[in-house]
Amino acid sequence: MKILILGNINSTFVLNYVKELKAKMNCEIDIFTEPIYQKEYAKQFIKYFDNIYEISKNNNGLINRIPKIRGFFRLRNLAIQINALGNYDICHIHFLSTNYGYLAPQITNKCKKLVISIWGSDFYRTKWWEKKIQYRIIKYANRITFANEQTLEEFNKYFKEVDNSKLEVIKFGLVPLNVLKNNEYITKEECKKYFDIPNNNLVITCAYHGKPIHQHIDIIRSIQKVKQKLPSDVFFLFPFTYGLNNDYYTKVKKYLIDAGLPFKILTNFLSDYEVAKLRRASDIMINVPKSDQLSGSMQESLYAENIVITGNWLPYKIFKEKGIFMLKISSVDKVGEKLIYAIKNLRSLKEKCKENSQIIWDISSWDKNIRDWINMYLEMLHD
């Protein structure tokens, strides 16, 4: 089977998806990447990619060939480049860029079957006219996948023209879950030391990347209102390791300094092993983005038995159905109050979090999910 992945080669989700797929399936995979991703991360991501490529060479071609395609700044050039590719059994779009709507003739001409995986913001944060462009390729899809039932239902309600038999919930696995499970001997103290955090600090991780959608400034304002109630040993971590914008970073840092909160902003790219350490170093996670589909970072924190504070406006119905314990708030300005509640009841709430690990493993480990993707491909080609 020959598969073309249209997605961000900078994304560890895409790279790990390819790696896991090749480990379980006999196929050739190419990745085509749009040139829209931040240049300051290029070297870090390429280093990560090269590590994967070295693994592939040592495992009899785990990934047969992944061209690095970048530098095409116009749709015309993208169309020319896609036309130059070979033919594929399956084209699989990971994250539905509007550009793929414009390029629908070129893409559909290259494959027997088309899969589109909706990641979340490509549906929730697109304007009505962008959705019209997206529909140009949506209408050709043989399967459209989602990470949760709630997003599928909302997509189906908006795109009424799409046959709902094409819609399917299939989740990505999370590599850091395997890392956490295989390294249970690594203590919280060791993880705190790795990030240069004093061992006696109570670590509160705020969001999981550096984009304004995570409402960092509103989080800080809300916490600042209850600052006098915070114990002296709290320490705030802000992961800006993905989606870094220097102007926004400077703005958030200034708010933190002015608020007088003890903090660290992480900006260096983290490997899966380092991400696992970050989850274990943390005690409480605050996850209140404007929109989301099924945050992998939050799930990793739940697996690591963090107390998670999240928004009730987010489509996390699956967690409630599966019995995941989380603290919910109705708006970002409630973060501070809920944080004080979590700290005051830390021991009892931590006890409630112990059941989360196995539930998250069953929902989101690659061991539980890769077979669903393979079966989808095989079923399509036999339709």
d(CA 48, CA 12): 8
d(CA 162, CA 164): 6
CA distance 221 to 240: 18
Q: Is 352 found in the same domain as 370?
A: no
For tokens 């491909």, what's the residue? Answer: 377
Name the residue with tokens 């899969």.
115
60-103 pLDDT, tens digit per residue, is 333 334 444 333 345 778 888 899 999 999 999 999 999 999 99
Based on the fold, state whether residues 202 and 302 are members of the same structural domain: yes
Is the domain of 182 the same as that of 166? Answer: no
Q: Are residues 115 and 206 in the same domain?
A: no
pTM: 0.74
My answer on whether 82 and 219 are in the same domain is no
User: How far apart are alpha carbons 115 and 4 in whole angstroms?
Assistant: 10
Q: Are residues 9 and 46 located together in one domain of the fold?
A: yes
Residue 62 C-beta-side C-alpha neighbours within 13 Å = 17
Structure-block tokens of residue 197: 């955090």
CA dist., res. 115 & res. 93, Å (int): 6
**24 and 166 part of one domain:** yes
The CATH number of the domain holding residue 81 is 3.40.50.2000
The boundaries of the domain holding residue 233 are 175-364
Shared domain check, 357 and 235: yes
Residue 297 CA to residue 349 CA, distance in Å, equals 20
Query: Using CA atoms, how far apart are residues 145 and 141, in angstroms rounded to an integer?
Result: 10
Q: Do 267 and 298 reside in the same domain of the chain?
A: yes
Tens of pLDDT, residue by residue over 269-280, are 888 899 999 999
Q: How many domains does the chain have?
A: 2
The two structure tokens encoding residue 67: 């061209």
Instruction: Note the Cα 331 to chain centre separation in Å.
Output: 22
Q: Is 161 in the same domain as 84? A: yes
Q: Are residues 123 and 236 in the same domain?
A: no
Q: For 211, list phi and psi in degrees, rounded to 5.
A: -100, 145
192 or 245, greater pLDDT:
192
Q: Which residue has the higher pLDDT, 57 or 214?
A: 214
CB atoms within 10 A of CB 222: 22
pLDDT tens profile 316-369? 988 999 999 999 999 999 999 999 999 999 999 999 999 999 999 999 999 999
- State whether 223 and 133 are in the same domain: no
